[in-house]
Amino acid sequence: MNPSPLNTGYGASAQSAALFDEGLRQHMLRVYNYMGLGLVITGLVAFIVGSTPALYVPIFQSPLKWVVMLAPLAFVFFFSFRIQSMSAATAQMTFWAFCAVMGLSLASVFLVFTGTSIARTFFIAATMFGATSLYGYVTKRDLSKFGSFLMMGLIGVVIASIVNIFLGSSALQFAISVIGIVVFVGLTAWDTQNIKEQYAENFDQESRSKMAVFGALSLYLNFVNIFQLLLNFTGERE
């Protein structure tokens, strides 16, 4: 007996939904893989430089340290403005280069904090990030309405951090760390939902590959900032 048109339509719809879900799963897996590999690159560069006097002395005991500290910010701006005109392969290479430069910038962490406290803080940050990103992925709640609030919080944290470079206030640094953690945890959920929803739009494979890289960059930045801010509470100084 031939299937009815209704059953045929339902079967095609179910198959289409299954294909979409599998495609979304692969896309998110690609985003997390890029992010994870980026963190590995950053960690290796930071550890090698931070444990090698011949490398960190010329950098952190000279004006070159300001170049190293500001270079990641320049990469982020470059990435944001040029991602549309890049090929997917170029976007990936730029992301790996950014992760390496970020490793140079974070090498000072190994000069200030003990290895045990760095590992402990990394685990705490990974747990917080994982739980929040999972929430952003599975929740049915629309998080877009929190976007403007989170971005205002981010701008406030950045401005306060710059001001505190000159003030050196421990109380202000404590407030920045607390508010910053809340902001970046919120951004993790928000960015995860955005990455998921962008996949639903009808982009070609090249565009989706670039979206995966840019999504990995967003989540990477959230994780690194959560980790750095948590160090102010859980890090034990050398």
Band of pLDDT at residue 201, cut at 50, 70 and 90: low
d(CA 59, CA 12): 60
State residue 11's pLDDT score: 57
Domain ranges across the chain:
23-234
Tokens 């997390």, residue?
32
pTM greater than 0.95: no
CA distances, 42 to each of 9, 28, 35, 76, 106 (Å): 49, 21, 10, 15, 8
d(CA 18, CA 200): 13
Band of pLDDT at residue 10, cut at 50, 70 and 90: low
State residue 4's pLDDT score: 52
More confident call, 227 vs 83: 227
State residue 1's pLDDT score: 45
Band of pLDDT at residue 167, cut at 50, 70 and 90: confident
pLDDT tens sequence across 75-96 = 777 877 777 788 888 889 989 9
CA distances, 72 to each of 77, 95, 129, 218, 223 (Å): 9, 11, 21, 13, 15
pLDDT tens sequence across 129-145 = 999 999 999 988 888 88
Contact 53, 237 (CB under 8 A): no
Backbone angles phi, psi at 237, to 5 degrees: -75, 150
Q: Is the dihedral of CA 197, 203, 208, 211 positive or negative?
A: negative
State residue 161's pLDDT score: 83
- Coil/strand/helix, residue 87: coil
How large a percentage of the chain has pLDDT more than 90?
A: 36
Band of pLDDT at residue 59, cut at 50, 70 and 90: confident
State residue 45's pLDDT score: 93
